[in-house]
Chains A and B, each alone.
Chain A
Amino acid sequence: MPQKKGRGTLRVVDGKLDILVNINGKAVAMKVAPGEYLLDALRREGYKGVKKGCDGGDCGTCTILLDDKPALSCMMFAAQAHGRRVTTIEGLGTPNQPHPIQQAFADVGAVQCGFCIPGMVLVTKALLDEDPDPDEGAVRRALDGNLCRCTGYVKQVEGALLAARRLRKPQGAKK
């Protein structure tokens, strides 16, 4: 199937659409129902780090990066991701090789239940890609769509700022 940027022509065969999405750097072919949301499709495909907290675009736990920009996967159809780049939390790092943002969140104690954290990490990633040196206000505005009930956001903001500092410094340097 040709990989086209944007909305190529998709045909429904046996009630399903064949879509091709670049997920975490890999081309993934998926069969999805026309009305299926990207959140459900991603979770079915095994990307369980994408969480369902409200299914209504209010909480941010289902956040992914769509062509490097934060997007709510519960608010878009899977078919809309056809031909586009999706980054889920699984695309950033692993517990043995975490991304600096993930490590910073762990270091400052920003992770309590952790249900909101994948979304917050991805939002932080998008922010730091655009602005490597954000102030606290910019971090808070970026995280505004990601609700958390455990932490009061204190340590997540701290974690994002710490990650920014580390990412600005050469590899290996801490703090």
Chain B
Amino acid sequence: MSVSDKREFTVVNHRVEKIDALALACGTAQFTDDLDIRGLLTGRILFSPHAHARIKSIDTRAAKKVPGVLAVLTHEDLPRVRHTTAGQGYPEPSPYDTLVLSEKARYVGDRIAAVAAETPEAAEEALSKIQVDYEVLPAVFDTMKAIQEGAPVIHDEADSKNIPDAQHNICAKFDFEVKESEWFSEAEVVVDQWYKTQWAQHCALEPHVTVTYFDGDGRLVIRTSTQVPFHARRITARVLQLPLKSIRVIKPRIGGGFGSKQEVLLEPICAALTLATKRPVKIEFSRKETFVSSRTRHPFVLRLKTGAKKDGTITDAHMEVYCDNGAYGAHSLTVMMCSGSHTLPMYQAKNSRFIGRSVYTNLPVGGAYRGFGATQGFFAWESQMDMMAEKLGLDPIEFRKKNYIRSGEGSPVFKAMGEGREGIEQKIGSCGMDECISQGLAAFRWEEKKKRNAKQTGVKRRGVGCACLMQGSGIPEVDMAAAFLKMNEDGSFNLHMGATDLGTGSDTVLAQIAAEVLGVTAKDMIVLSSDTDLTPFDVGAYASSTTFISGNAVKKAALHAREQILKIAAKILDEKPEDIDLKDGKAVGRSGRSCALAEVANTAFYYHDQHQIMGVASHIAQSSPPPFAAHFAEVEVDTETGQVTILDYVSTVDCGTAINPALAEGQNDGAVLNGLSYALTEEMRFSPSGAMLNASFRNYKIFSAADAPPFKTILIPTYEADGPFGAKSVSEIGINGPQPAIANAIYNAVGVRLFNPPFTPEKVLAAIRAKK
């Protein structure tokens, strides 16, 4: 078996220590703001206090006179370049509807002006002295009202591009239908239900932060907390009309992103301040600004109308979604489409229809957020599956088992719905759903819990619920990643790649893949990632792509280097290259003779076939193999207060080969806990005039260590032939389960079904009372 297809691993599939773990735990790893830069100015942004207003004039004279203020910028000072802040591949499938500084305020928190000053105090004072004369316009805050005739038009400028229907505030639309028979003609049971999900924020612990400066050669350096360094370079260059080659983007350690940093938000404005002052500038969002003016999870209004035969065969699936994008259309088409493209293929219906609209409102802007639309889609789908099962008189798990997609099966949805464009045909390779369900049921003790909960009479009632899930692994035929590695005299390697580790551990995972190919340890890899001057291109960290796509690029680059190593080693050992293996830092011949990799490197440097051993490769995927998961929740509902307590939660996930099981578990643990508080507490709330009311961790509740209920991740190993050493993605899928699993468990406990998360005590109690 070639090294490429091996199933017995020495580095991969091992709990290798994360390569930056100790530096992070010791506080020595450097984040964006952890460098002292001489002469660093404070950049601050003036945000709109109005949800919808035209700017009649801005007077910056008094602000400019504040001592220590070096620049005050408004839209008049910057090139008028409509763009999207969505850090997507080019051309971005999001409307070009944004200016770095707005001439029209479209939400409370929109960017109006920017200042750079010697001190934070001077910057603050300058902001307070900018006089903006607003003409306040009627605003619209409701998704469904925004698309009605006569609603205020939020984007009425002629130079915006790719807005399908600006008059009706529609920033993206997509329709799809595949039909084998008349709609609902074969259905014996039909369920027609509307769902509505809430606004939520990523809450990465490190706020958005960017530092810009000119290096000694006069090039603009952007040191930034980003998931997309190469897109940040491209978009900043275009927006500020600078040559791309004059910009270098560096991503240091990142304090979490979860999608919020797949957005080019601070880079252009910070760079504009450096251009204006010729000085280094830092802009760092406060926590409140991060909540209001970075990005959010799009709230959805969804309708599912589904039909099934009495034997449990799903016949029809009509899915209608209205994705609230807030004031700008970032990720509007793709998030909306992923609510269908990741859910509809899960259960194979003969008739399938998707009607999708993304809608502008005068509220904060939606963006990429872990789960990326699939989260909202699965809340509806997995609630609907339980409702259908009940109506059919079937066990909810057996009903799912009867319908979910199996290995070897395709779906017309894969081809019809890509991300912002047509997708690709694909058949499911690995699918561990059977195991996910059976092992999950056993670990959760589903039957035992059900039996125990069968006869309950008290105030507090327990119930169980489940959800089955899938996601994707990167965007096929779009996402490209590249890597190169070079060998050093001591047998170590520099691994340079565009891939972006935002705290996920991808630097470690990718080092493990290279080390596996080269017969060394992960510690023999000196990793440098995400520097647009020093590393090759990669689209960045999103769409669950890094392990699968960047991982394949790294694997190919390592194989390329391996070939060169084998040739030199063949000369040293006097054997054929194909008879040599690399292990334990040595080249080992068939005869058993071996030489250290250090000797190979030195031979290549000084003696034989002299060259630098280096591997180079790019990768683009032809498929996006879904990971699969099954989630099980037990809740206790207090029927007097409406309080929902999670008693137990088990999630099983098939991510193919877990390149690093500890990190894979960590990805799923984090996604699940985020999903749990999204289900129960998290919600951005707004005043009647569109101002966010709870923009702090005190008032927007994410779970702490003491809040976290008992929950457990179980990895279900499969082998995905298209993935590096069998790997698929793992980072997003876990967040899709808690909302529906808990909704189903609440129904099981007290017989009320909630369609409008989060499931707060008020809502649960109101539903219980309404039922009585």
Closest-CB distance, A113 to chain B (whole angstroms): 2
Measured between beta carbons, the chain B residues less than 8 angstroms from A126 are none
Closest-CB distance, B224 to chain A (whole angstroms): 15
- The answer to whether A152 touches B670, judged by C-beta atoms less than 8 angstroms apart, is yes
Q: Pick the interface stretch among A6-14, A77-85, A90-98, A166-174.
A: A90-98
- The answer to whether A151 touches B666, judged by C-beta atoms less than 8 angstroms apart, is yes
Residue-wise interface mask of B (191-215) relative to A, using a CB-CB cutoff of 8 A (1 in contact, 0 not): 0000000000011111100000000
Within 8 A of B (CB), among A123-155: 139-141, 143-155
- The answer to whether B253 touches A153, judged by C-beta atoms less than 8 angstroms apart, is no
Question: CA of A149 to CA of B253 in the docked complex: distance in angstroms?
Answer: 16
Closest-CB distance, A141 to chain B (whole angstroms): 6
Return the contact of A54 from the options B697, B704, B708 (Cβ within 8 A).
B697
* Known A-B contacts A112-B505, A152-B672; A93 and B26 likewise in contact (beta carbons under 8 Å): yes
Closest-CB distance, B268 to chain A (whole angstroms): 23
B706 within 8 A of A: yes
- The answer to whether B25 touches A147, judged by C-beta atoms less than 8 angstroms apart, is no
A58 within 8 A of B: yes
* Known A-B contacts A56-B696, A56-B698, A109-B666; A143 and B27 likewise in contact (beta carbons under 8 Å): no
- The answer to whether B670 touches A151, judged by C-beta atoms less than 8 angstroms apart, is yes
Residue-wise interface mask of A (42-76) relative to B, using a CB-CB cutoff of 8 A (1 in contact, 0 not): 00001111111111101101000000000000000
Closest-CB distance, A108 to chain B (whole angstroms): 7
- The answer to whether A152 touches B669, judged by C-beta atoms less than 8 angstroms apart, is yes
A161 within 8 A of B: no
- The answer to whether B706 touches A140, judged by C-beta atoms less than 8 angstroms apart, is yes
Number of A-B contacts (CB under 8 A): 190
- The answer to whether A113 touches B256, judged by C-beta atoms less than 8 angstroms apart, is yes
Closest-CB distance, B677 to chain A (whole angstroms): 10
Give the number of chain A interface residues (Cβ < 8 Å): 57
Measured between beta carbons, the chain A residues less than 8 angstroms from B502 are 113
- The answer to whether B30 touches A58, judged by C-beta atoms less than 8 angstroms apart, is no
Residue-wise interface mask of B (1-35) relative to A, using a CB-CB cutoff of 8 A (1 in contact, 0 not): 00000000000000101101111111111110110
Question: CA of A126 to CA of B669 in the docked complex: distance in angstroms?
Answer: 26
Question: CA of A153 to CA of B669 in the docked complex: distance in angstroms?
Answer: 8
Question: CA of A52 to CA of B707 in the docked complex: distance in angstroms?
Answer: 23
- The answer to whether A98 touches B26, judged by C-beta atoms less than 8 angstroms apart, is yes
- The answer to whether A112 touches B503, judged by C-beta atoms less than 8 angstroms apart, is yes
Question: CA of A55 to CA of B503 in the docked complex: distance in angstroms?
Answer: 21
Return the contact of A152 from the options B34, B284, B673, B696 (Cβ within 8 A).
B673
* Known A-B contacts A115-B31, A115-B205, A157-B705; A149 and B674 likewise in contact (beta carbons under 8 Å): yes
Question: CA of A52 to CA of B660 in the docked complex: distance in angstroms?
Answer: 30
Measured between beta carbons, the chain B residues less than 8 angstroms from A89 are 25-27
- The answer to whether A113 touches B28, judged by C-beta atoms less than 8 angstroms apart, is no
- The answer to whether B669 touches A141, judged by C-beta atoms less than 8 angstroms apart, is no
- The answer to whether A115 touches B287, judged by C-beta atoms less than 8 angstroms apart, is no
Residue-wise interface mask of B (646-684) relative to A, using a CB-CB cutoff of 8 A (1 in contact, 0 not): 000000000000001011011001111110000000000
Question: CA of A52 to CA of B31 in the docked complex: distance in angstroms?
Answer: 11
B504 within 8 A of A: yes
A106 within 8 A of B: yes
Task: Output the nearest chain A residue to B708 by Cβ-Cβ distance.
Answer: A153
Measured between beta carbons, the chain B residues less than 8 angstroms from A146 are 704-705
B711 within 8 A of A: yes
- The answer to whether A105 touches B34, judged by C-beta atoms less than 8 angstroms apart, is no
Residue-wise interface mask of A (23-53) relative to B, using a CB-CB cutoff of 8 A (1 in contact, 0 not): 0000000000000000000000011111111
A103 within 8 A of B: yes
Measured between beta carbons, the chain A residues less than 8 angstroms from B68 are none
Return the contact of A150 from the options B15, B23, B503 (Cβ within 8 A).
B503
Closest-CB distance, A167 to chain B (whole angstroms): 15
* Known A-B contacts A58-B697, A109-B15; A115 and B673 likewise in contact (beta carbons under 8 Å): no
Task: Output the nearest chain A residue to B253 by Cβ-Cβ distance.
Answer: A114
- The answer to whether B25 touches A111, judged by C-beta atoms less than 8 angstroms apart, is yes
Measured between beta carbons, the chain B residues less than 8 angstroms from A162 are none
Closest-CB distance, B11 to chain A (whole angstroms): 15
* Known A-B contacts A53-B207, A98-B22, A140-B705; A48 and B34 likewise in contact (beta carbons under 8 Å): yes
DSSP majority for the B interface?
Answer: loop
- The answer to whether B696 touches A113, judged by C-beta atoms less than 8 angstroms apart, is no
DSSP majority for the A interface?
Answer: loop
Closest-CB distance, A77 to chain B (whole angstroms): 16
Measured between beta carbons, the chain A residues less than 8 angstroms from B697 are 54, 56, 58-59, 147
Measured between beta carbons, the chain A residues less than 8 angstroms from B696 are 54, 56, 58
Return the contact of B206 from the options A90, A105, A113 (Cβ within 8 A).
A113
Question: CA of A141 to CA of B708 in the docked complex: distance in angstroms?
Answer: 11
Closest-CB distance, B735 to chain A (whole angstroms): 11
Return the contact of B27 from the options A49, A56, A112 (Cβ within 8 A).
A49
- The answer to whether B702 touches A149, judged by C-beta atoms less than 8 angstroms apart, is yes
Task: Output the nearest chain B residue to A47 by Cβ-Cβ distance.
Answer: B27
Measured between beta carbons, the chain B residues less than 8 angstroms from A153 are 673, 704-705, 708
Measured between beta carbons, the chain A residues less than 8 angstroms from B206 are 51, 53, 113, 115
- The answer to whether A114 touches B704, judged by C-beta atoms less than 8 angstroms apart, is no
Question: CA of A98 to CA of B20 in the docked complex: distance in angstroms?
Answer: 13
B412 within 8 A of A: no
- The answer to whether A152 touches B26, judged by C-beta atoms less than 8 angstroms apart, is no
Measured between beta carbons, the chain B residues less than 8 angstroms from A48 are 27, 30-31, 33-34
- The answer to whether B663 touches A109, judged by C-beta atoms less than 8 angstroms apart, is yes
* Known A-B contacts A112-B504, A148-B205, A149-B204; A106 and B669 likewise in contact (beta carbons under 8 Å): no
- The answer to whether B28 touches A95, judged by C-beta atoms less than 8 angstroms apart, is yes
B714 within 8 A of A: no
Return the contact of B253 from the options A109, A113, A144, A150 (Cβ within 8 A).
A113
B149 within 8 A of A: no
- The answer to whether A106 touches B17, judged by C-beta atoms less than 8 angstroms apart, is yes
A164 within 8 A of B: no
Question: CA of A160 to CA of B640 in the docked complex: distance in angstroms?
Answer: 38
Question: CA of A47 to CA of B663 in the docked complex: distance in angstroms?
Answer: 28
B641 within 8 A of A: no
* Known A-B contacts A94-B26, A149-B702, A153-B673; A108 and B253 likewise in contact (beta carbons under 8 Å): no
Task: Output the nearest chain B residue to A93 by Cβ-Cβ distance.
Answer: B26
Question: CA of A49 to CA of B25 in the docked complex: distance in angstroms?
Answer: 9
Return the contact of A109 from the options B20, B30, B662, B702 (Cβ within 8 A).
B662
Task: Output the nearest chain A residue to B508 by Cβ-Cβ distance.
Answer: A109
Return the contact of B704 from the options A93, A103, A139, A147 (Cβ within 8 A).
A147
- The answer to whether B705 touches A156, judged by C-beta atoms less than 8 angstroms apart, is yes
- The answer to whether A56 touches B287, judged by C-beta atoms less than 8 angstroms apart, is yes
- The answer to whether B28 touches A94, judged by C-beta atoms less than 8 angstroms apart, is yes
Question: CA of A151 to CA of B705 in the docked complex: distance in angstroms?
Answer: 10
Closest-CB distance, B349 to chain A (whole angstroms): 34
- The answer to whether B673 touches A147, judged by C-beta atoms less than 8 angstroms apart, is no
- The answer to whether B22 touches A154, judged by C-beta atoms less than 8 angstroms apart, is no
A86 within 8 A of B: no
Measured between beta carbons, the chain B residues less than 8 angstroms from A110 are 666
Question: CA of A148 to CA of B255 in the docked complex: distance in angstroms?
Answer: 10
23 CB-based A-B contacts, threshold 8 Å: A47-B27, A51-B31, A59-B287, A109-B18, A111-B24, A113-B255, A114-B255, A115-B206, A121-B25, A140-B706, A141-B706, A144-B706, A147-B203, A147-B697, A148-B670, A150-B504, A150-B670, A152-B670, A152-B672, A152-B673, A153-B673, A154-B666, A154-B669
Task: List chain A positions with a Cβ less than 8 A from chain B.
Answer: 46-56, 58-59, 61, 88-90, 92-95, 98, 102-103, 105-118, 121, 139-141, 143-157
A-B pairs with lowest CB-CB distance, top 7: A49-B27, A113-B503, A114-B24, A115-B255, A109-B662, A152-B669, A152-B673
Given A152-B674, A155-B666, 9 more contacts at CB 8 Å? A51-B205, A55-B286, A109-B17, A112-B663, A113-B204, A113-B255, A139-B705, A151-B669, A152-B673
